Structure 1
Amino acid sequence: MKQKTTTIKNRAGIHARPAALIVQTASQFESNIFLEKDTEKINAKSIMGIITLGASYKTDIIVSAEGSDEEEAVEAIAALFEKKFEEE
């Protein structure tokens, strides 16, 4: 299992558009990918799960993956957070 902690840097937090980008990116990988906030752990391939996570600006998120392409998956998802989901 590979994991990485990242912070939400876009002021709007995770809403429909960033959630869709996460799902699109996660779906390109074979690995099981998860996002964790506090005690909640959700499937990164579930748009409803991501939206109900309620992640806002400056929230720390743990991105984790388990599978054959876990390292690439974690890096790809973390990169979306680093680029502020290309919103700013």
Structure 2
Amino acid sequence: MTEVAERTVTVASKVGLHARPAALVAKTAAAQSVEVTIAKDGGTPVAASSVLNLMTLGAAHGDTVVIAAQGDGAEEAVEAVAAVVARDLDG
């Protein structure tokens, strides 16, 4: 059976998932062994490894996003990306 993981996280960066935070999230997502998606709560999921996708998501500070992945290593991939989104990356 395919491993499926999903986690809801609040965006911690004051600028939201824009510019530098988006680049860090995309880099983390691209480093995973499975494709990781991200969506605003109730929105359409996009590839978390794309800076452009993350910036067009329009996720602002305090917004809730859903991070998901499936396949071997999905849980670890979701945790890795969630940890970056939940951290204040503005510093």
RMSD: 1.1
Write the letter of the residue equivalent to 1:22. Answer: V
**Match status 1:55 vs 2:59:** yes
Q: Which deviations, in whole Å up to 9, do the C-alpha atoms of 1:37-63 show, x marking residues without a partner? A: 132210011111111001101100001
Report sequence identity in percent: 33
Match of 2:87 among 78, 83, 86: 83
CA contact (8 A) 1:12 1:57 kept: yes
Gaps of 5+ in 2: none
CA distance in 1, matches of 2:26, 2:85: 13
Name the structure where helix makes up a greater proportion of residues.
1
**Match status 1:65 vs 2:65:** no
| Runs of 4+ off more than 6 Å | none
Q: How does 1:3-82 map to 2 (within 5 A)?
A: 3-37=6-40, 38-82=42-86
Gaps of 5+ in 1: none
CA distance in 2, matches of 1:83, 1:57: 11
Q: What is the aligned length?
A: 87
CA distance in 1, matches of 2:63, 2:86: 13
TM-score, normalised relative to structure 2? 0.88
CA distance in 2, matches of 1:29, 1:57: 24
Q: Displacement of 1:82 after TM fit?
A: 2.3
